[in-house]
Structure formats: structure tokens, C-alpha cells
Structure 1
Amino acid sequence: MESTLSRTALAAFAPVVWGSTYVVTTELLPAGHPLFAGLLRALPAGLVALAFTRTLPSGAWWWRAAVLGVLNIGLFFPFLFIAAERLPGGVAATLGAAQPLVVALLAVGVLKESPSAWRFAWGVVGVVGVGLVVLGPAAGFDLVGVLAGLGGAATMALGVTLTKKWGRPAGASPTAFAGWQLTAGGLFLVPVTFVFEGAPPAIGLTALAGYVWLGGVGGLLAYVLWFRAITTLPVTSVSVLGLLSPMVAAVLGVVVLGQTLGPVQLTGFALALAAIVASQRPAPVLARGVLQ
């Protein structure tokens, strides 16, 4: 039987891959088309998953899949790409790092879990750590970008929580489950994209490579593993793994864009890693009555 450690490691693959989104968006994709980027990341991957699994929702899962698809994909992707285009990567990443805190609150209200000061506190530590890693003196705060970053954190947090609440229906594989949501989110984005952005941009080989990476690896493969993890692991523990995304983005900034990391950034890395590890473990036994 698969261990919790191996399931956690597979779940971590998704935010690690998502950490490449900022570099791919700014360096490979045509500027000014965040909705189109979200559409191409979602719909082709969803249709491939449906064709491969040949499994469709039934009963209440038609509307549940639609709701989850809009929250996890249809709304989240545009918010993500708008924030990536309008904000420095550090600001966008720090706003997104607030998602585990929102999930911790929703777990109490939606999942009826007992409040966990332990995990909430480590979530705060994680946000601080990410901020130290990626925020710099030149960080800018475009209002639309900030609202998009906060909107993305909120919609995905709600989507993650509802995914945990509803689970995955019997007879639906993780690939089918991800395909339903990617397809629903992609279909939601079709009219929205053409209303707000008009005709799609010209796509050269560089942009094509970027879209294939975001849709194939960062879309289908990552979401299959991500949704599988949500249904089998504690939702607050899974959500904290999302802190890996801005950390990977910072590393790619060093490797690809020639950026540097100083003592402050390295301290932030240590704090964020500590938050990720601590959030995968239960509260200490002696303090459990207070911290859970």
C-alpha cells in the first residue's frame, strides 16, 4: 500500500512544476493574453484526459465537476496569469502563498474540522518565508494585479476545500477526475477569453513550446497528481505544499534570468521549508490540546 510519504512526494510534483509558470509566461508566451494562456492550459489537456479515460460524470457530479472546474481552473488560471503579467513575480507569489491560510479557515467552516493553530501558525511562517525569498525593494503593487493574486488564492482555496469535501466518485480515476475539471474550466474560459481578449495571438514555435509545457505537464499531469492528493491526504497539509511554487520560481529566476539570492532570501527559504515540513506532521503531543 502506498505510504503517506510517497503520496506527499507525488503531490509536491504539482507545485514544483507550477513554479515554472512565471518564467514561461514572461519569457515564452505572447504578452497581453492571460485568458488565452489559461484556456490553452486547460481545455486541450481536459479533452485529452476525457478521450483517454472515456469516463463522464453522472448524477450530481455533472454540476459538482462544473463548480470545481470553474473554481480550480476557470477562475484560477486567469487570476494567475493576470497577476503574473501585471506584478513582479515576487509580489504575485507572496499573494498566492496566502492560499494555505484560507484553506485552514475554510476547513473549519466547510469541512467541520477542529481549528488547528499549529497549521495556521506554520502557514503564516510560510507566507513570511516566501515574502523574504521573493519580495525586493523594487516590488510594485498594481491594484488589478493585487486583486487578481488575492482572487486566485481565494478561488483555488475554495476549490481545494470543496474537492476534499466531495471526494472523488467511485469508478472515476484520478485522470478522469482531473479531466472533468480541466474541461469544465476550459469551456468556461472560451467565451470569457474571446469577449475580453478578442482574436487569439499569433503562436510561434517558442510560444507553442510554452503552451505545451503548461498544458501537458503543468496542466494534465500536475492536476492528476494534485487532485489525487487532495482526496487522500489532509487538505491543509496539501495546500501548504503550494509554497513550493514561489520557491521554485525564485530558483528558476537565479538559473534562467540571472537573478541572485542574498542572506535574506536564504533565510526565507529556510522558513518556507520549515513550514512545509512542519505542516505535514501533527501538532506536538504535549501541546496538541492547545494547538489543534
Structure 2
Amino acid sequence: MKTNLVPWLLAVVAPVVWGSTYFVTQKWLPGADPVWLAAVRVGIPALFMVWLVPVQVWQKFGLRLLLMSLLNITLFSGLLFYSISVLPGGVAATLVATLPLQVILLRLVTGQGAELAHLIAAVGGVVGVGMLLWRADAALSPLGIAAALSAAFVMAAGVLMASRYSSDIKPLQLTAAQISLGGLCLLVFAGLSGHPFPEVTQEGVIAMLWMGPIGMGVAYWAWFRAMAFVPVHKLAFLGLLNPVVAVLGGVIIMGEVLSTGQISGMAIILGCILGAQLVGSRQAGTKSAA
């Protein structure tokens, strides 16, 4: 029983760490260019992780790893940081929280099926995140909205692809390969963009080290390691912990105060996450045992 809990605990690590991205970026990296922010965040761990991938893995799975890296790392990181830079953090997080819903819709489109309870929980999760975070008083950037929704879409596609085509690649190698390729692509794009490298304070350097080696290396390894054991449609729901952590971080670090509506939204999110894990658990357990 204890052993079965390990993948779920690993699955929780990733969204908890990723949830810190919002308040860490806005507090210690305000105004930083999103292109370079994404490039440096991925590039730092890429320098260390590229050596963890054997040559034969590149030779055998190179194209597959490149496609997964573009979806899970390069496009997702670039779109996420762009949306954070032009939208209020709460709005960006709410739109990115459509990830579980988009995973379910993609499963339906590809003929994999989905339970109605999961669809309801996904919609409820977005509503809960909206209640928790949405505080938009000004006009919203259409490009920012499109970027946030696209970030959720490419991540949904990447998660589904990884769950289907990565069973024969070790989780650490899978993580290292994707981050290495993603970091290279982002650094090249940032260099060609013509944007000047942002000035970063000492606190900003520490923030980048947190979001890079920990937020990318450790968190992504935990995510892909858990994917081997946790059904992908249930794993996606754990991503809803991301905005919950973001808000709690704002309360603890930035002295923000939760309203009654935000507390209600948090309760809805946690209820949807728990409900999504419980729905079909007996059937999944039977298939896993078989």
C-alpha cells in the first residue's frame, strides 16, 4: 500500500513546485523579458542533464524526444512566460488550468474515451481556479489569452504523447533529453529574437536557480516518473494544485489575504482533484493488477 502511494506523491511534487513560478517571477523577476526568462530557466538544468542521456537513446528515440520536447518544454515554457508577462497572473493561471479539460477533449478526439465525471471535474476545476485567482479589472490582451490557452493545449498534447510513447525510455533519460533539447531551442530562439539579456538582481539569480534546476529538473523528473504509474487523465488533474500553491505562496510570502470567494474556489479545486482521482479507481486498480 505504501509503495503504491509513491507515484502519487511524486506526481504532487511537480505542480507544487511549478505553482511557485507565478509569485517567484512577479516578486523577484518583474519586467524580465519572457523569451530570455524561459530560455534561462530551461537552459541552466539543460547544461547538466544532457550528459545523462546515452548516445544510443538519442539514436533510437531522437525524433520522438524532439517532438515531446517541443510540446512539453519549448512551446509550453515560451507561451507560459509570455502570457504571464501580458496578463494578470491569476488570469494566466486560470486559462492554463484548462489543462485537464484539454487532456480529456484530446482523449475523446483520438478515440481514447473519457468518463463524464472527469469532464465535470475538469470544468469544475476551471471554475474553482477562476474563483480563486481571477481579478481582472483592465482589458485583457487577446494574444495573452491565446498564449495561455495554447500553453495548456501543447502541454496536454505532450502529456498524452509522453504517456503513450515513452514507456521504453527511463524517466530520468526522458526528462534529461526533453529539457536538453528544449533548452537548446529556447536559447537559440532567444539569441535570434534580438531582445537584450535582462538585468537580474542577486535575488533574481536565486529565483532562476529555483525555477531552473528545481522547477525544471526535479519537478519534470517527478512528473514523468509518476506518469509510468498514474493514469494520464488523473495526472493532469493534479496540475490544478499549481494555482492553489501560487495563491498560498502569495499569502505566505507577499502578505496577501484570502477572501471568502477564494477560499470557496480553493475548496472546489481540491474537491475536483480528489473526485477525479477516485472516479474509476476500482476499474483502474483491476486493470493494473491484471
Name the TM-score, length of structure 2 as normaliser.
0.91
Which stretch shows the higher mean deviation, 56-65 or 233-242?
A: 56-65
Letter in 2 for 1:207: G
Question: 1:9 matched to which residue of 2?
Answer: 9
Letter in 1 for 2:10: L
Equivalent position to 1:225, from 208, 222, 227: 222
**CA displacement at 1:87 relative to structure 2:** 1.0
Q: Which structure 1 segments of 5+ residues have no match? A: 286-292
Question: 2:146 matched to which residue of 1?
Answer: 147
| 1:261-280 pair list within 5 angstroms | 261-280=258-277
Rounded to whole Å, the distance in 2 between the matches of 1:249 and 1:76 is 18
Letter in 1 for 2:7: R
Which stretch shows the higher mean deviation, 243-252 or 23-32?
A: 23-32
Letter in 2 for 1:33: D
Rounded to whole Å, the distance in 1 between the matches of 2:56 and 2:199 is 33
Which stretch shows the higher mean deviation, 41-50 or 180-189?
A: 41-50
Maintained 8 Å contact 2:20/2:246: yes
Divergent runs of 4+, >3 A: 1-4, 52-56
Rounded to whole Å, the distance in 2 between the matches of 1:83 and 1:56 is 37
Question: 1:194 matched to which residue of 2?
Answer: 191
Maintained 8 Å contact 2:10/2:225: no
**CA displacement at 1:197 relative to structure 2:** 4.3
Question: 2:285 matched to which residue of 1?
Answer: none
Maintained 8 Å contact 1:45/1:220: yes
Rounded to whole Å, the distance in 1 between the matches of 2:136 and 2:4 is 40
Identity of aligned residues (%): 33
Question: 1:208 matched to which residue of 2?
Answer: 205
- 1:57 aligns to what SS in structure 2? helix
Deviation string, structure 1 residues 218-277 (Cα, Å, up to 9, x no partner): 110000001112232110100011100111111111122222211111111111001111
Deviation string, structure 1 residues 45-92 (Cα, Å, up to 9, x no partner): 123123245565244510110011111010010111111111111101
Q: CA-atom RMSD, angstroms? A: 2.0
**CA displacement at 1:196 relative to structure 2:** 2.3
Maintained 8 Å contact 1:178/1:227: yes
Rounded to whole Å, the distance in 1 between the matches of 2:56 and 2:206 is 30
**CA displacement at 1:18 relative to structure 2:** 0.6
Question: 1:28 matched to which residue of 2?
Answer: 28
| 1:160-199 pair list within 5 angstroms | 160-169=159-168, 172-199=169-196
Maintained 8 Å contact 1:46/1:178: no
Rounded to whole Å, the distance in 1 between the matches of 2:154 and 2:198 is 27
Q: Which structure 2 segments of 5+ residues have no match? A: 283-290
Rounded to whole Å, the distance in 2 between the matches of 1:284 and 1:32 is 43
Deviation string, structure 1 residues 152-186 (Cα, Å, up to 9, x no partner): 111111100100110232xx432211010001111
Name the TM-score, length of structure 1 as normaliser.
0.90
Aligned length: 282
| 1:122-141 pair list within 5 angstroms | 122-136=121-135, 138=137, 140-141=139-140
